[in-house]
Amino acid sequence: MKVLLCISHVPDTTSKIRFTDNDTAFDKTDIQYIIGPHEELALTRLLEVKEAIGGMTITVVNVGLKETEPTIRKALAVGADDAIRVEADPTDALFVAKQIAEVYKQGNYDLVVTGKETIDYNGAQVGEMIAELLDLPSVTSTSHFDIKDGKAQLEREIDGGKEVIEVDFPFVATSGKGFALEPRIPNMRGIMQARRKPLAVVQAVNQEIKTKTNQFYLPEVKGACTFVDAENVEELVRLLHEEAKVL
């Protein structure tokens, strides 16, 4: 079983977000980068399944410039077998999906896994786009993932509940809440091994760019909090009704 896991290289979740160049570009100063949290959980679960069934290779792929290699190495240290970096600035979701579809075609994979969404652009679209480009079935927001007797057994989130779903290989799954609980942390041995694991760099293929970001904005600064005495909850009800007008 060959699995292609798509990882994003994103600002740590505690990052304070700032922009530069008149708010047209993300300010990378002092930003720590991480593997997207959804993909980190996906890798964790894939490793658990691999340990249970054996005979699986996990290739991580990232579309990015050289700066993403420490993030890719971290995935190798956690336990992925090898890695591919597509040399390009990931400008738009379709562009990224097209690159990954190309990698898929070169590699005879049985399964593509992506995170449900990246935490920078929050597009939640790359997985489905890859599936569409490759004419594959897909399972979105997968909340449970297992392979038993060669069959994929998944659970997916639907609006207001969840659903058990069977799907034929090859397919694309996007990992959502519940895929794994705690991300696996690399140990010393993993970090040493990661240095020697293969990381191939491939050139990007052409794809017309259909969307671009012009301008970023930060949310308006909120006014100060109005405190209400704990003994006087009626006052809060009054404020919510008369001042905030939400009751």
Ligand X SMILES: Cc1cc2nc3c(=O)[nH]c(=O)nc-3n(C[C@H](O)[C@H](O)[C@H](O)COP(=O)(O)OP(=O)(O)OC[C@H]3O[C@@H](n4cnc5c(N)ncnc54)[C@H](O)[C@@H]3O)c2cc1C
CA angle 163, 164, 165 (to 5 degrees): 110
Total residues binding another protein (CB under 8 A): 79
17 binds ligand X (CB under 6 A): no
Return the HEC string of 30-55: CCCEEECHHHHHHHHHHHHHHHHHCC
The residue within the footprint of ligand X, chosen from 8, 36, 37, 46 (CB under 6 A), is: 37
User: In this structure, is the dihedral angle defined by the CA atoms of residues 184, 185, 189 and 195, taken in order, positive or negative?
Assistant: positive
240 binds another protein (CB under 8 A): yes
Place of tokens 């896994």: 113
CB 74, min distance to another protein, A? 18
Measured CA to CA in angstroms, residue 102 lies from 28, 39, 95, 116, 232 at distances of 29, 20, 11, 20, 63
The residue within the footprint of another protein, chosen from 30, 89, 149, 234 (CB under 8 A), is: 234
Nearer to another protein, 196 or 220 (CB): 220
**71, 34 in Cβ contact below 8 A?**
yes
List all residues 6 or more positions away from 55 whose beta carbon is below 8 Å from its beta carbon.
Answer: 1
**148-154 long-range CB contacts below 8 Å, 24 or more apart?**
152/111
Contact string (CB under 8 A) for another protein, positions 71-90, x = contact: --------------------
The residue within the footprint of another protein, chosen from 162, 190, 199, 202 (CB under 8 A), is: 162
115 binds ligand X (CB under 6 A): no
> What is the total residue count of the chain?
247
CB 231, min distance to ligand X, A? 15
186 binds another protein (CB under 8 A): no
Tokens of 225: 């909090």
146 binds another protein (CB under 8 A): no
111 binds another protein (CB under 8 A): no
Single out the segment in contact with another protein by CB under 8 A; choices: 73-81, 102-110, 188-196, 206-214. Answer: 206-214
Total residues binding ligand X (CB under 6 A): 2
Single out the segment in contact with another protein by CB under 8 A; choices: 45-53, 56-64, 79-87, 207-215. Answer: 207-215
The residue within the footprint of another protein, chosen from 22, 122, 203, 206 (CB under 8 A), is: 122
The enclosing H or E element of 59 equals strand 57-64
Q: For binding to ligand X (CB under 6 A), which residues are involved? A: 13, 37
